[in-house]
Amino acid sequence: MERYIRFETTEGIKWGIFEEGRIASLNGNPAMGTDRSGAYYQPAEVKLLAPAEPTKIVCVGLNYREHVKESQSATKEPDEPVLFIKPSSSLLGPGGRIIYPDMAERVDYEAELGVIIGKECHNIAAIEAEDFIFGFTCVNDVTARDLQKKDVQWTRAKGFDTFCPVGPWVVDGLKYEDLLVESYLNGDLRQSSRTSMMIFPVPVLVSFISKVMTLYPGDLISTGTPAGIGPMKVGDRIEIRIEGIGSLVNDVA
């Protein structure tokens, strides 16, 4: 398994891969296929950015049974995946600040497994899905809960700038079927479940979405959150941990 990152230096924004304690620079987005540039950096020399440049961020709602039970917007498990889209402008990297909007009264965390697409994907079967996946990352599907209830549809509540923290990197070759997914608010455990508890597993999601819209290399699918969602306030620190990937930490400002 490799860890792919997007990072910023004094020379600009680059893609890279961790290699023997240092970062090997790449000539482009690894999800689209690339090679090493020959340059190397020390981790302390760079700022990590969201490790994705998607044409779209496709999110899945109500995909864990216990979360369906705690949700006020659903009375039963969905018969098929519930989809919505976050704008690419909502992306935020590890260590970035989640900005609490003036028009929101409650802003929640939602820990989720993120899937990065590696090949153009249209109308595929679930059994084919793994051939189109580049890797996996941590996602926080930040949500203005009061606005979600007010608007009914979710675009505003999910779409604010900084409302999609992603990172810290993308891991390829990961066995994703039964990973521990957790969130910690100010160090206290708030969510804990496993990807095996999804109602619709990753291959089914990739297939279903591909029958709705073409997925392109670099696109991000956020696969739904477990039970335990809750509000954050200014000054809080939220951490998303996923087994085999790592830790995504952001403060609320």
Per residue in 38-82, pLDDT tens?
Answer: 999 999 999 999 999 999 999 999 999 888 777 766 668 899 999
Q: What angle do CA 239, 221, 185 make, to 5 degrees?
A: 15
For residue 148, the domain's CATH number is 3.90.850.10
| 212/249 Cα distance (integer angstroms) | 32
Average pLDDT over residues 154-174: 98
Residue 64: the pLDDT is 93
Residue 72: the pLDDT is 64
Token readout for 123 is 């109308």
Backbone phi, psi, residue 68, to 5°: -60, -40
Same domain, residue pair 67 and 112: yes
Tell how strand 230-232 and strand 220-222 pair up.
Answer: unpaired
Residue 240: the pLDDT is 98
Confidence of residue 14 (pLDDT cuts 50, 70, 90): very high
Residue 74: the pLDDT is 62
Say which residue, 142 or 20, is predicted with more confidence. Answer: 142
- Position 239: which residue type? E
Same domain, residue pair 63 and 180: yes
> DSSP assignment of 7-64, as one string?
EEETTEEEEEEEETTEEEEESS-GGG---EEEEEE-GGG-EEE-S---S-EEEEES-B
Same domain, residue pair 94 and 175: yes
Same domain, residue pair 31 and 8: yes
For residue 24, the domain's CATH number is 2.30.30.370
Q: Does 20 have pLDDT greater than 90?
A: no
Average pLDDT over residues 189-200: 97
Same domain, residue pair 39 and 123: no
Same domain, residue pair 143 and 174: yes
Average pLDDT over residues 14-25: 95
For 125: left if phi > 0, alpha if psi spans -120 to 50, otherwise beta; the answer is beta
Q: Domain of 28? A: 3-49
Same domain, residue pair 37 and 70: no
Per residue in 78-95, pLDDT tens?
Answer: 999 999 999 999 999 999
Per residue in 100-149, pLDDT tens?
Answer: 999 999 999 999 999 999 999 999 999 999 999 999 999 999 999 999 99
For residue 66, the surrounding DSSP H or E stretch is helix 65-70
Same domain, residue pair 36 and 62: no
Q: Does 207 have pLDDT greater than 90?
A: yes
Sign of CA dihedral 173, 47, 53, 23: negative
Confidence of residue 249 (pLDDT cuts 50, 70, 90): very high
Same domain, residue pair 116 and 43: no
Residue 75: the pLDDT is 66
Residue 81: the pLDDT is 97
Average pLDDT over residues 192-215: 98
Instruction: Give the percent of the chain with pLDDT over 90.
Output: 93
Residue 68: the pLDDT is 79
Number of domains in the chain: 2
**Residue listed under structure tokens 């981790």:** 43
Q: Does 98 have pLDDT greater than 80?
A: yes
Mean pLDDT of the chain: 96
- Position 43: which residue type? P
Same domain, residue pair 99 and 134: yes
Q: Contact, 226 vs 191, CB < 8 A?
A: yes
Token readout for 145 is 């809960």
